[in-house]
Chain A
Amino acid sequence: MKRRTFLATAPALGAAMAGFSASSFPALAAAPSDLLNASYSPTGELYGAYDAFFTRFWRDKTGTAPAIHVSNRGSGAQARAVIEGLPADVVTLALAYDIDAIAKAGLIAANWRSRLPDNSTPYTSTIVFLVRRGNPKQIHDWPDLIRPGVQVVTPNPKTSGGARYNILAAYAWALKANGNDPAKAKAYLKALLKHVPVLDTSARNATLSFLQRGLGDVLIAWESEALLAIAQAKDKTAYELVLPSLSILAEPPVAVVDKVVDRRGTRSLAEAYLATLYSPDAQELIAENYYRPRLAAVVRKYAARFRPIPMVTVDQAFGGWDVAQKNFFADGAIFDQVFAPG
């Protein structure tokens, strides 16, 4: 290489290397008007819309437009990522247990739940079935899932939040249908999981397996995910929604990651980002993106979209997430006992 060429490129290379060295010291590279939202897997579209809205809102209010970034990953995997060092300013996960795990690791204050209305849950959802056009396997409720020849798609509860709601909803129904007999409910779960060919790492990956790869006859999914899948398909009749006779209330909470925002100086931005989720405009946006809003006026407006389904809650039916996680999803617990891969 000619010396002149080398000397000409050296400054550029030096700058690049310096830049990358600096980026390994986040404190040096911090820009207080950008925010990282570590979310669970299906919320990409929701937060895409909300971030655009919030950016305008914040710019109108303060004059600076924030740069908001969203990371999507299975809820359990995302919680672990944040604990392992993903520099998220806020977390918007699928269930309180995952945020509690981050709190236990010292990154979030223990009283995070009470810092925002509705136990820090600005939107809810539930669990439904998605089937293909015409519902060829005639799937109408939970018992149909264990009929011979039916293949069920549901994600891996070790990494996905939606997957855990799916399993608990199935168990709740099975318990009720079998006169509260835990042994029979467990047997149903075992039968159900025999019909599951693959456990994707996240709810979104499971949806993609069902939609793109053509895997399975029925997808157990977030209602938000199912409605979105129908809406985004080129052929609007390609998929159909089936409401089970009993489902579960899914309450995905949000929280500020105290350790990160204090280090980066983004607390006010982060708190505003989450608080604005409860505003009327944001609640409309939430409903438009297929999540069940909290605000009564918006609920009424979108009543046709979100049909009433009999639901249990994790607290009522399972004694809260700590108990449910320990009984069902810890190593060696009920899920491990009933699921044998292959």
Chain B
Amino acid sequence: MASDAIAIALPAVRAGGKRARRALIGVALVFIALFLVLPLGVIFAEAFSLGLRSYAAALADPDVQSALRLTIGIALVAVPLNTIFGLAASWCLARFRFRGRGALIALIELPLSVSPVVAGLLLVLLFGNGGLFGPFLEAHGMRIIFAVPGMVLATIFVTFPYVARELIPLAETQGSEEEEAAVTLGASGWQTFLRVSLPKLRWGLFYGILLCNARAIGEFGAVSVVSGQVPGQTNTLPLEVQALYDGYRVQAAFAASSLLACLAIVTLILKAALEWRHRDEIRATRRMQAG
């Protein structure tokens, strides 16, 4: 009988399935171990390769300290600015329908397809001595390239889409009924935004800020082009890592890298926590992003 055949075959299929499942898990874990765990491990292994005292000395290096401050300072400017933009974009792009909306959303994602080195080149074209605003800057004693403002602008460009691309699909998924109700009941635009939209978008906002921040701290290519790369002055921590590495100070380079790795781990933990708490909304948003 067919059902008997199935009853006999099913365990074999399931057993084969179990073997396949174990094989797949094995492959996945080996791949993860090789590509993700090992690099993380080697950072710390090399950082501590000369002992605890050398590690502490490397971190106490004034150039490393100054680089850390610069990295955080640049993030403190770039992330809020892009957050405000992300909020504005989420309002007009998720809650209204108009011609060109899709194109605008695609344009916002443009920096993701641009190499960071090209981002740096763009700034040189605009603000370098021979650039569009070069003579103006020179005449007013201002400097953008080879100085911190250029690095801030480069970071803003590179981290531009991160908050917006979290908020827009989230706001779309959530819908605008509550906002429309509020307005119909007499709330002003700002009231609606602050009291209705913002609380709803809270997790997406944190999430987007987290990603934007991680990217801002880790940015390398764009700032390396516009920075003067002067240790202690215009080196962010990633640039300082390269400077140490090129100066035969490999252990110090990895010590500085371990700081960045710790920041990355904190980012991952926060990200996982946010994802766990809001998994349903995230699933819907990701579905929309995957097209």
User: A interface vs B, CB < 8 Å?
Assistant: 1, 3, 12-13, 16-17, 19-21, 23-27, 36, 44-45, 67, 69-71, 73, 81, 83-87, 204-205, 208, 232
Contact = CB atoms under 8 A, between A and B. Distances in A.
23 contacts: A1-B205, A13-B77, A20-B149, A20-B152, A23-B147, A23-B148, A24-B143, A24-B144, A25-B142, A26-B141, A27-B141, A36-B233, A69-B230, A70-B230, A70-B231, A71-B228, A71-B230, A71-B231, A73-B229, A83-B129, A84-B128, A84-B129, A87-B228
Contacts of B246: 204-205, 208
B145 A85 contact: yes
B230 to A, nearest CB: 4
A234 B138 CA distance: 48
B163 to A, nearest CB: 12
A35 B96 CA distance: 55
B76 A36 contact: no
Contacts, number: 76
Given A1-B205, A12-B76, A69 B231 contact: yes
Contacts of B231: 69-71
B119 to A, nearest CB: 18
Contact of B233 (A16, A25, A69, A205): A69
Contacts of B74: 20
Contacts of B202: 1
A16 B76 contact: yes
Contacts of A73: 229
Interface string B20-39: 00000000000000000000
A36 B129 contact: no
A25 B137 CA distance: 10
Contacts of A44: 247
A3 to B, nearest CB: 8
B232 A69 contact: yes
A84 B129 CA distance: 6
Contacts of B145: 84-85
A60 B129 CA distance: 40
A24 B247 contact: no
Contacts of B198: 1
A94 to B, nearest CB: 17
B42 to A, nearest CB: 15
B144 A86 contact: no
B276 interface: no
Interface in B221-273: 228-233, 246-248
Contacts of A23: 147-149
B146 interface: yes
Interface of B: 73-74, 76-77, 80, 128-130, 138, 141-149, 152, 194, 198, 202, 205, 228-233, 246-248
Main secondary structure of the interface of A (DSSP, over half): helix
B76 A87 contact: no
Contact of B146 (A16, A25, A27, A85): A85
Contacts of A13: 76-77, 80
A19 B69 CA distance: 13
Residue among A13, A36, A86 having the largest count of chain B Cβ atoms under 10 Å: A86
Contacts of B248: 45, 232
Contacts of A71: 228-231
Nearest to A41: B246
Nearest to B201: A1
Nearest to B194: A3
- Nearest first, the 4 A-B pairs at minimum CB distance are A24-B149, A16-B76, A71-B230, A84-B129
Contacts of B141: 25-27
B151 to A, nearest CB: 9
Contacts of A85: 128-129, 138, 143, 145-146
Nearest to A105: B129
Contacts of A24: 142-144, 147-149
A1 B204 CA distance: 11
A53 B148 CA distance: 29
A92 B74 CA distance: 30
Nearest to A228: B248
A21 B146 contact: no
A290 to B, nearest CB: 13
B146 A87 contact: yes
A67 B205 CA distance: 41
A215 to B, nearest CB: 15
A85 B147 CA distance: 9
Contacts of A84: 128-130, 145-146
Contacts of A36: 230, 233
Nearest to B144: A24
B50 to A, nearest CB: 11
B211 to A, nearest CB: 16
Contact of B149 (A12, A21, A45, A83): A21
